[in-house]
Amino acid sequence: MKLTLLLPTYNRPNKFRYLLDFINKELSSFEKSVFDIEIIVGDNSSDDLTQHICENSILFKKGLLSYVKNVRNIGLIDNVTSLIRKGTGYYTWILGDDDFYHEGIFKKVHDTIHKDNFSYIFLNHRAYIKGKENESGFRSAVDLNKKDTYDDGKDLILDVWGYSQSTLMFISASVCNTKILKECLQNKNKLDITFPLYISFYCGAKGKGKIIKDIYIDNIWGTTSWQNVKSKVFNYYLPNNLYLLPKLGYNYFTSRRMLIMYLIQRIKLESSRFFSIIKFSLK
């Protein structure tokens, strides 16, 4: 069963080289006939050594990796959607080049995609600020007391959202049925930076779901590429995704309750920040 790995990247040669080396090491224990794979790199017009790194990698020489360089920087989401259209595998996994992956993750994904016909697979992970592993973030994105296999993927989405909310937007944590993923892309007319969250909502609603509970990814928080629109992401784009849930087949009243509870949290947070600024300015 073919797995498509999509690697969007831009001007991060050292991290990208490390990712390619890691993937090659992980795949070295698999015969191609056992783990059929394609890797497609979408270089967003980097001005660094990315192309050289790709074309000199073992993965490229093995014929597993193809390299596409955009003539200009088209932004992360357009780069991702362009890659999605190129994939031919049964499942698609988009890997962030600045995330840290643990040994054994490919075997775990391999074993999981061969167990059943899942529409959506969510990989548990931890998150923290670099250098503050024990002081920030969270140790698990899912409730470990919950089940890991769902006949209805919508229930998986609701369980993950109920525990860690926007972790569903963490693009490296989603493995999707490619046919459903491409259908998702066609269904979404207007794309924004929260498209990875919409992917989770859409693919999760289309069939069986699976959570890989073991921690195989570290989401290391830093300055995001969308830092300048962060407020709009959490105060507009994200709640808009919640508003659309009934159209994707989610229970209307459950979806509206999620939206209302989320908005209340945001109002409280924004109010707290506002009064903190006022208090500081009066000192």
0.85 surpassed by pTM: yes
268 located within any domain: no
What's the domain count of the chain?
A: 1
249 located within any domain: no
142 located within any domain: yes
Q: Quick one: pLDDT band at residue 34, thresholds 50, 70, 90?
A: low
- Report whether 223 contacts 197 (CB < 8 A): no
- Report whether 118 contacts 174 (CB < 8 A): no
Q: For residue 88, what is the domain's CATH number?
A: 3.90.550.10
Residue closest to 6 by CA, chosen among 132, 116, 94? 94
147 located within any domain: yes
Residues 115-124 have a mean pLDDT of 97
- Per-residue pLDDT reduced to its tens digit, 46-59: 988 999 999 999 99
Q: What domain range includes position 47?
A: 3-232
131 located within any domain: yes
212 vs 31, higher pLDDT: 212
270 located within any domain: no
269 located within any domain: no
- CA atoms of 45 and 262, how far apart (whole Å): 37
Tokens 């909310």 found at:
165
255 located within any domain: no
Query: Has residue 283 got a pLDDT over 60?
Result: no
